[in-house]
Amino acid sequence: MSSARTAKFWLRKAGLGISLATALAGVMPTVASAAEPFAKSAIQSDLVTSTLLIDVVSAGKRLVAVGQRGHIIYSDDGGKTWEQAEVPVNVLLTAVHFPDADHGWAVGHSGVILHSSDAGKTWTKQFDGDDANKLVITEAEATIEELEAAIAALQAGNGTAKGGKGSLAELEMQLEEAQYSLEDAQEDAKLGPTKPLLDVWFQDSQRGFAVGSYGFFFRTVDGGKTWQNYSGNIDNLDRFHLNAINQVTGGTIYIAGEGGIVFRSVDAGESWQTMESPYEGSFFGVTGTGNVNEVLLLGLRGNMFLSTDNGATWDEINSQTDATLTGGMAQSSGRMVVVGNSGVMLFSSDHGRTFRARIRDDRLSLTSAWIVNEDKVLITGESGVSIMNGISKI
């Protein structure tokens, strides 16, 4: 790794925390502490619906929300009443996704990945930051071995060995990157599971992805029984935080993150393209608009960009706010809800071309929205989960 990128990486790692923490203006801890126990179960609490919740989705007709201290709650009556799930960890959970009515995954601090097979009622831990560190170390060691053999073969005039791709200079650069990855993972292993996962998306009950801080990117093809380090499949040498992953209507999957990075996959995640970004600041959310091959990026200071041609070009959308935008949802009807810091709520009825802004009286940060029907939306944030009716008239 070049000295400039090395300096940048360690500056961010030592002092800046994770991007999403900055976006939520102190709502979330900056980095999950190694001392934060992920082996302890979430405590049952009567106040769970009014404390920090980060994400809400549907599991069939059921609604499921996740948040601080391992809290996961579910509702079978449209959000009027909630039950608390049994969860084996007590770390901050940052995202949840259900590809079908029964199977769901939640991710969070300490690199935790949880799975439910009963629509969110009970959860088991499939993966954590210790597992992540072991994966990265094992892969880096194997890569170093292959690259060293390839370099030795080139220097001896015997062509390239298995795993060697490119010129000697290119191989040496790849070796430097792999050695740095190994050193970094070894240091992380000494500290423990310190890196958070920030979002999760599953295509079905078997195939899915989890993304997170410092370029964490993992894939499973067996329902989470095993996970693969997939970070080498995207061009993210600076290890920018990957804040959001989502699929838009039409099937394309997008990843958005720190420094304006945007990646796209049109083949169910098998390969990824680096997209030309419309913005150099960080993105914290990515969502479709309800139309085929349309995508909306949500970022710092109210920055919002729409692409109607599957990421080839972008148009800046007037969000009518300078508050950081953190999450959103769209329906095929064209109705959209986007939320962000300072109680900002944005509503659209034309597939994200224009928005109307509303500010909650409490001005507390909002993190996600789920449109229950044409007139009702659930919103999560600092004050927990709440219902907003009458959105069809906004």
342: nearest Cα among 326, 366, 318, 358: 366
Specify the pTM: 0.88
**What pLDDT, on a 0 to 100 scale, did the predictor assign at position 182?**
87
> Residues 321, 343: contact at Cβ < 8 Å?
no
Share of the chain above pLDDT 70, in %: 88
pLDDT at residue number 26: 40
* DSSP letter assigned to residue 349: S
pLDDT at 142 over 60: yes
pLDDT in tens, 222-233: 999 999 999 989
* Segment among 77-91, 127-141, 272-286 with least mean pLDDT: 127-141
- Mean pLDDT: which of 4-8, 18-22, 28-32, 292-296 is highest? 292-296
pLDDT at residue 295 in the model: 98
Query: CB-hemisphere CA count at 13 Å for 350?
Result: 5
Angle (CA) 110-116-118 rounded to 5° is 160
Distance between CA atoms of residues 51 and 45, nearest Å:
10
d(CA 321, CA 113): 34
Question: What is the token pair recorded at 73?
Answer: 């709650």
- Tell me the average pLDDT of the chain: 88
- Chain centroid to Cα 141, Å, comes to 27
State yes or no: pLDDT of 335 exceeds 60.
Answer: yes
DSSP state for residue 137 in the 8-state scheme: H
Nearest Cα residue to 283 out of 307, 308, 266, 252: 307
Total number of residues shown for the chain: 394
pLDDT at position 165 is 57
Distance of alpha carbon 27 from its chain centroid, rounded? 17
- Grade residue 237 by pLDDT with cuts at 50, 70 and 90: confident
Res 8 pLDDT > 60: no
Task: Tell me which residue of 99, 89, 39, 37 sits closest to 67, measured CA to CA.
Answer: 89
What is the signed CA dihedral for 174, 180, 186, 192, rounded to 10 degrees? Answer: -110
- Helix or strand holding residue 55 (H, E): strand 53-59
Q: Which pLDDT score, from 0 to 100, does residue 150 have?
A: 86
Please compute the mean of the pLDDT values over residues 172-186 and round it to a whole number: 86
- The per-residue pLDDT for 11 is 36
Distance CA(105)–CA(380), nearest Å, equals 18
Helix (H, G, I), strand (E, B) or coil at 49: helix
Kindly report, residue by residue over 263-316, the tens digit of the pLDDT.
Answer: 999 999 999 999 999 999 999 999 999 999 999 999 999 999 999 999 999 999
Q: Is the pLDDT of residue 6 over 50?
A: no
Residue 111 confidence class, pLDDT cut points 50, 70, 90: very high
Whether the pLDDT of residue 353 is over 70: the answer is yes
Q: State the amino acid at position 234 in one-letter form.
A: I
CA–CA separation, 208 and 201 (whole Å): 6
The token pair that represents 55 in the structure block: 């994400």
- DSSP state string for 60-126: TTEEEEEEGGG-EEEESSTTSS-EEPB-S--SPEEEEE-SSSS-EEEEEGGG-EEEESSTTSB-EEE
